[in-house]
Amino acid sequence: MKVRVASAGTGKTTSLVLRYLELVGAGTPLRRIAGVTFTRTAAAELRQRVGDAVRELLREGSYLEVGYRLRETERPAFEEALRELEGATLSTIHGFMRTCLALVAPTMGLDPDLRSLGEWEAGAMFEEELRGLLLLAERPEHGLHAAAELLGRGAVELAVRLFQQRSLSERFIPDDSEISRALVALFESAYKRFEVRLGAALLPPSEVERKALLMARTAVAVRRLAGRYRVVLVDEFQDVNPLQGQFFELLEAGDMQVEVVGDPKQSIYGFRNADVEVFRRAMAAGQMLPPLRETRRHARVVARFLNRLTGVLAENQLGFGKAEAPEVEVAGPQAQRAGRVELHWLAGDAPIAKLREQEAQVLAERLAELHRTHGYAFRDMAVLARSYKGLEQVEQALLAGGIPYVLLQGRGYFERLEIRDLYHALRVGVDARGLSLAAWLRSPFGQLELEAVNAVLRAEQPLEALAANHPEAHARLERIQQAVRGTPVAALKTLIREPFIAGRRYVDFLGARARENVDALLFTVAQQPPGDLEILLERLQLLSRQADAGDVPQSGEGVQLLTVHRAKGLEWPLVAVFDAARMLPPLNEPLLVHPEEATVSLAGSAGFDETKARVKARQQAESYRLLYVAASRPREVLLVTGSAKGERGSGWLPVFERLELGPGARPFDRPEFVLQTHPYRPLSSAPALRVLPAAPGLEPAAWIDRRFRRHPHPPVQSPSGLKDDDGNGEPLPVSDPDEGERLPGRATTVGTLVHYAISQNWSASNPLHLDNLQAQEVMFPYRADEQEDILAEVRELLAGYQRLLGRELASLASRAEDFPELPMAMAQGNTVWQGIIDRLYRVGSTWVLEDYKTDREIRPERYHFQLATYVEAVRRVRRVEPRVQLIYLREGRVVEIPRTTLEAAYAAETLGPPA
């Protein structure tokens, strides 16, 4: 196998086009060359580039100045290549595998008319087979009964997780624990049923890989393929998964010439099962071609910075080695441009959320300044972040500064209101009950007010009530019920485009952005139509729970916002990298597959800790490669920002410190390189962002200088979230593993179990109650020994609570009314406060509001506003004034909070800052 390393911007696609010309010129017909790349877009671009190169060669006699020169004896070969171009094999990896399988289908026992199946639909089919198998395994005599009993309620989730990782290995091997063996046995049995269901013609991507591997091991099939293709050129080889890598290795062993090109420094798709070790294995065993060293993307200063960055990372084996990081030289027009690099750090002891807020403001200020003084158009700028959480902060800063922006890949597409409207409309067409009926009645399809919706839902026969009181809405429901009897695509078209809502179409109720999303949904479903409506509904529900399901690109012009992963393969004149100090997300998976050995380990099983360490090391290495990808996107200006709290450096900051360019380095400001550390300053005293002047000749509107008042709280807020570990009034971070934020840990698990046990009046001495606590979902991530340790702490806290009952706390028997875990929601100004009151009860004529704390420190002041909000909600609804008590369970102490203290805390927060 021939292997070439091509760093970012060094003309990898151009090198592939030149290789096509060399092969055709040497006598290999274009039809005998297979071009394989990672995406359909890249494959289409490669086809276009090859065609343009052949035409230029035939017209001009050469391709590029120092590229390829045509000899007249070669002209017939290139004329033939031009005729064969449309039928030539230039496709994705899976597309190439399908083409090969179709060529030898009878040999492999397959239908030559292979049909594609989406991975999401394959997952749904596997889960159906799995659930059916578990139903059979409920019988004690079934062979999997013991395995199903051992895995318990987590069996489906764990087996589905394993199914999603099947591109890592042809076969999974359990570690030495009984629970891992049970999971692998269950998975293999369900997988066999799944394969039978697929039959000989239906193949999702991962099954294409497995069938292709089997084909590559079949001598007669490989001979047939070798007779069809002489050379296979593979692009982006750093992004292949282990099964794909084995496939190409077997083709090479079968006397097919395989040449691969890629950049290990840009291997960032581990979450899609890509494995950079496949490329490294090819480098070690194959013939290394000279690396591409000339970058025609980067200006001089940007290229020097990248060389220094890759040198330090390679020297310290952070993500890649020296052989994978050759120095590059600037060539072409970019060699005449100096370029610019700016590093801006925010440092201070303020909460990290406040630092990042100011960091976003600094970034917005620099973009506005570079636009004003250097002439960069906003459409030529991009801001990259490691997470969508970071992009949200950048959005706010750009909006405040009057800077136009475009979110290229937003989050939560399948949770958007217009998509959920269509989901619920399809669902009521199948079964007009429950939550979907309520949502549909409020949507543009139903158009009922809340009071009318409530009346319909409370009726004994909701549909009869709807027909009697709202006949127009009922007629629309009947139209939808009729539409869903057809195909899913036809049903969607009816919902979206048919004017049955009082003469209007559903899209007529939407703005431009929402219309784009609805069109994208229809296009997606039409491309891969599901077998029936239930499969489509299941898919939409599944995707609505996935954090990485983004929406379609926005239209318009402005600074482009996207994650680093989405930016790979793209470039802009100016690129800003935001939040360079963001930490890696914690690894809290209950199931892990060993990267090298394909050993399956579950939390608490034999090899779990060792596998977790390997997986974490790989994630860390990929994080450094992600930094290289981000830093290599700009052509002329690279702008990096990050926030450091105190002296702690996290995320990519340690890399910049190795470069002696971190927050502690001596600042400097040169025309081509800026390094500056900004001290934290509260935004209330920060200078306002520069407002860009209006276009000449336009009369500004009278309201142009007005500003919306910044509300102190978001539209919906939990009163318990208005504090953090430092007690400084900062909301707690969101528990979001995709964004790397803090997740509920052991202390949160203990608190959750204790609060639930108290609400159920459970006893610390009752084994049945403790067994129920151990079966709660929050315990799933923990090993058996960790669960026992947590339960021991829960028992101790519950026992402390029980000792207080009848003494400092009123006994349960003395309470005339008792409401544990009481939900509350209350509007105050621009914010709706919602939360859970631990306990509200009445003894005689006295009402008591209790809040249970498992804190190790007694600091009542942290909870004054939370309790004041609860009291205000009780006062509004029940017209009573409860006595308020904080119960610190570890100390067995009851702290009563005075009414005046609560009133002061409530007034301070809800009134907000002065206008």
d(CA 841, CA 815) in angstroms, rounded, equals 7
DSSP state for residue 554 in the 8-state scheme: P
* Least confident among 210-214, 577-581, 706-710, 879-883: 706-710
How far from each other are the two terminal CA atoms of the chain, in whole angstroms?
69
Question: What is the DSSP track for 593-614?
Answer: E-TTT-EEEETTSTTHHHHHHH
Q: What is the mean pLDDT of residues 303-310?
A: 96
Secondary structure letter of residue 555 according to DSSP: P
- Which strands make up the sheet holding 340-348, listed edge to edge? 405-407, 559-563, 381-385, 572-578, 634-645, 340-348, 673-679, 668-669
Q: Give per-residue pLDDT as tens, 27-76.
A: 999 999 999 998 887 888 899 999 999 999 999 999 987 689 999 999 99
The CA distance from 5 to 891, in Å, is 63
Highest-scoring range by mean pLDDT, 180-189, 201-210, 527-536:
180-189
Q: What are the pLDDT digits (tens) for 355-409?
A: 999 999 999 999 999 999 999 999 899 999 988 778 888 988 998 899 988 776 5
pTM of the full structure = 0.67
Beta strands in 298-397 (DSSP E): 329-330, 340-348, 381-385
CA atoms within 13 A on the CB side of 690: 14
Comparing CA positions, the residue from 466, 617, 65, 29 lying closest to residue 294 is 65
pLDDT at 125: 87
Rounded-to-integer distance, Cα 373 and Cα 692, Å: 12
Q: What is the pLDDT of residues 471-524, one digit of tens each?
A: 999 999 999 999 888 888 888 889 988 999 988 999 888 876 677 677 767 766
The yes-or-no verdict on residue 709 having pLDDT over 70 is no
- Residue type (1 letter), 769: H
C-alpha distance from residue 511 to each of 440, 507, 715 (Å):
19, 8, 22
Structure tokens at 743: 């997740």
What are residue 549's phi and psi, to 5 degrees? Answer: -85, 100
Task: Specify the DSSP element, H or E, that contains 37.
Answer: strand 33-37
d(CA 555, CA 684): 33
pLDDT digits (tens, 9 = 90+) for 615-629: 999 999 999 999 999
Phi, psi of 850 (to 5 degrees): -120, 145
Look up residue 821 and give its two tokens: 């875990």
Cα separations in angstroms, 185 against 125, 182, 188, 234: 18, 5, 5, 36
Do residues 105 and 112 touch, judged by C-beta distance below 8 A? Answer: yes
Structure token pair of residue 10 = 């060094």
Q: Which two tokens stand for residue 846?
A: 């006295």
Evaluate whether 560 touches 572 at the Cβ level (below 8 Å).
yes
With bands split at pLDDT 50, 70 and 90, how would you rate the model's confidence at 912? very low
Instruction: Round to whole Å and give the CA distance between 14 and 35.
Output: 13
What phi, psi does 754 have (nearest 5°)?
-65, -45
Res. 413: pLDDT tops 60: no
**Residue 541 vs residue 867, higher pLDDT:** 867
725 pLDDT higher than 90: no
Task: Look at residue 530 and tell me whether its pLDDT is greater than 80.
Answer: no
CB contact set of 762 (below 8 Å; sequence gap of 6+): 769, 772, 773, 798
Query: Quick one: pLDDT band at residue 669, thresholds 50, 70, 90?
Result: confident
pLDDT attached to residue 641? 96
**Distance of alpha carbon 662 from alpha carbon 644, whole angstroms:** 10
Residues β-bridged to residue 383: 561, 576
Helices marked H in 459-600: 462-469, 471-483, 488-497, 512-527, 533-544, 564-567
pLDDT at site 438 = 87
If 0-12 CB within 10 Å is exposed, 13-18 middle and 19+ buried, where does residue 92 land?
middle
Around 366, how many Cα atoms within 13 Å sit in the side-chain half-sphere?
30
**Residue 803, CA distances (Å) to 281, 780, 820 in order:** 64, 30, 18
Mean pLDDT along residues 7-33 = 94
* Confidence bin at 913 (pLDDT 50/70/90): very low
Query: Between 746-759 and 767-774, two packed helices, what is the crossing angle to 10 degrees?
Result: 130
pLDDT at 541: 65
- Asked whether the beta carbons of 482 and 432 are under 8 A apart, the reply is no
pLDDT of residue 713: 74
More confident residue, 255 or 688: 255
Q: What is the dihedral of CA 25, 26, 29, 30, to 10 degrees?
A: -50
User: pLDDT tens digits for 156-199?
Assistant: 999 999 999 999 999 999 999 999 999 999 999 999 999 999 88
Is the pLDDT score of 735 beyond 70? no
Which helix (H) or strand (E) is 394 found in, with range? helix 388-400
Q: Let me know: does 419 contact 518? Beta carbons within 8 Å.
A: yes
Residue 738 has pLDDT above 50, yes or no: no
Separation CA 672–CA 300 (nearest Å): 10
Dist CA 791 CA 770 (whole Å): 7
pLDDT at 694 over 60: no
CB-CB contact of 299 with 330 (8 Å) = yes
Spatial separation of the C-alpha atoms in residues 385 and 390, rounded to whole Å = 6
For residue 850, pLDDT over 70 is answered with yes
Average pLDDT score over residue span 831-840: 92
Look at residue 40 in the predicted model and tell me its pLDDT.
Answer: 81
| pLDDT value, residue 723 | 57
What is the predicted pLDDT for the residue at 539? 64
What residues have CB less than 8 Å from 770, skipping those under 6 apart? 764, 791, 794, 795
Please state which of the ranges 89-98, 238-247, 306-315, 517-526 shows the lowest mean pLDDT: 517-526
Sorting pLDDT into bands at 50, 70 and 90, what band is 588? confident
DSSP-assigned beta bridge partners for residue 258 = 232
